[in-house]
Amino acid sequence: MEQEHAADGPLAGVTVLEVGVFMAGPFATMQLADLGARVIKVENPAGPDPTRSTGPFLDGPGSQRHSSPFLRLNRNKESVALDLKSDAGRAAFLRLVAGADVLVENLRPGALRRLGLGPDELAQLNPGLVYASASGFGQDGPLAALPGLDIMAQARAGLMSITGSPDGDPVKVGVPICDLVSGLYTALAVTAALLHRDQPHGDGRGQQVDVSLLESGVSLAVWEAGTYFATGQVGRPLGSAHQTQAPYQAVRCADGWVTVGAITPKTWDGLCAALDLPHLHADPRYADSSGRHAHRTELIAAIEHATTARDTAGVVAALEAAGVPCAPINDYGQVFTDAHLAERDFFWDAEHPDLGPVRQLGSPMRLSGTAARRGGAGPVLGADSRAVLGEVGYSDAEIDALLGTMAR
């Protein structure tokens, strides 16, 4: 397929088909689209991506309503409406596959296989296709058939066992971390598979990519694995505290909280000087980070005796002047209006045909020669069906018949 819609990013010339719902698959393809790939999102016209029905909503012309999360999660993509359970829709999808480089899907394992659209069948049609599947628990194993939402993955991956306050109720990470990390792993694996395919030893052949929310979550347990495999000790919730170092956590101030990380000799010296705590600096219990961690309860109480007498701005200013890593705890109202992020042009506006400019979170990937793509907001369902189907050989009459069939 032609790439006239793709930006001149590092993945320009790569065509990605997405059969994605909710978070993991669409987040993976958003990364690829930001990097210049052409992403064609294929949705059932009768049952599209459920994120389209997730509020809050923005009102367009007439009675049209658009999901605000969808507009951001699906930026830089095109939308084609096809019913893959119909013969006509499946045939059209196979034409798209024939010219694609990548398929990303995050349906329940086996869903596309049952439609004759599994990796083996599509590899026969397009041997160079990278077929990437993101799922709750992987494509095989005893848990594979279970529904795998982010919170279930966080629970089974152990994340909820270490998140929150000691002796508190179970708490999940505030963002859907397993969904998001599995999306990032999927995008990374896809780019690796494309690189391998196009190298001489790859013989031009694609491969299957299998990423699970569960394993993505477990992969983050770097400190916990280091402790368990060395000592057998199981991690527990620590609030904001570090697993092995101190002081490295949030401390109270008169009007809020400040996070501090004074774990090196230099930063520990700086903290004691900035907060006028010479008695802590002289205490042999706190001579090194290991000792400070062992006596963390008493240490933090002593530090907070000083910080609660000052406001957050004063504590941050004093610690920054002393070279101590620190930061206030911002809410998202502060984050989305942050002067540093604004100066770096992190937020930007994507155009939408009904809504005009739609504010976007920027891509953290900053490449000096191939900037991240800044195209359109998440597309209207089926907005690109006619153009994309025309590119793969359908006549206007055939497109009318195909789209008419699915509309009934």
The enclosing domain of 209 has a CATH number of: 3.40.50.10540
Query: Within this chain, do residues 211 and 94 fall inside the same structural domain, yes or no?
Result: yes
Please give the structure tokens belonging to residue 358.
């739609």
Has residue 397 been placed in a domain? yes
Give the pLDDT of residue 407. Answer: 56
Give the pLDDT of residue 141. Answer: 97
Query: Within this chain, do residues 265 and 354 fall inside the same structural domain, yes or no?
Result: no
List the Cα angle 340/344/349 in 5-degree steps. 110
Query: Within this chain, do residues 264 and 355 fall inside the same structural domain, yes or no?
Result: no
**Rounded Cα distance, 73 and 378, in Å:** 7
Residues 312-329 have pLDDT tens digits of: 999 999 999 999 999 999
Query: Within this chain, do residues 25 and 145 fall inside the same structural domain, yes or no?
Result: yes
The enclosing domain of 317 has a CATH number of: 3.30.1540.10
Hey, what amino acid is at 45? P
Has residue 147 been placed in a domain? yes
Has residue 4 been placed in a domain? no
Query: Within this chain, do residues 89 and 46 fall inside the same structural domain, yes or no?
Result: yes
SS3 3: coil
What is the 3-class SS of 239-250, one letter each residue?
CCCCCCCCCEEE
Give kind and range of the element (H or E) at residue 352: strand 348-352
Give the pLDDT of residue 1. Answer: 43
CB distance 245 to 223 below 8 Å: no
Write down which residue in 269, 303, 328 finishes a domain.
Answer: 328
Q: How many domains does the chain have?
A: 2
Has residue 228 been placed in a domain? no
* Residues in the chain where the model's pLDDT stays below 50: 1-6
Q: Is the peptide bond before 247 cis (omega within 30 degrees of 0)?
A: yes
CB distance 379 to 67 below 8 Å: no
List the strands of the sheet with 326-328, edge to edge: 248-252, 257-261, 326-328
Query: Within this chain, do residues 128 and 211 fall inside the same structural domain, yes or no?
Result: yes
Query: Within this chain, do residues 173 and 79 fall inside the same structural domain, yes or no?
Result: yes
Give the pLDDT of residue 404. Answer: 83
Catalytic annotation present for 269: no
Has residue 190 been placed in a domain? yes
Neighbouring C-alpha atoms within 13 Å toward the C-beta of 206: 27
Query: Within this chain, do residues 195 and 268 fall inside the same structural domain, yes or no?
Result: no
Catalytic one among 83, 179, 283, 338?
179
Please choose, from the candidates 383, 99, 341, 82, the residue with its C-alpha nearest in 3D space to the C-alpha of residue 375. 383
**Rounded Cα distance, 124 and 45, in Å:** 27
Query: Within this chain, do residues 166 and 306 fall inside the same structural domain, yes or no?
Result: no
Query: Within this chain, do residues 99 and 140 fall inside the same structural domain, yes or no?
Result: yes
Give the pLDDT of residue 295. Answer: 97
Write down which residue in 284, 304, 328 finishes a domain.
Answer: 328
Give the pLDDT of residue 406. Answer: 65
What domain range is 319 assigned to?
248-328
Beta bridge partners of 38: 15
Query: Within this chain, do residues 252 and 115 fall inside the same structural domain, yes or no?
Result: no
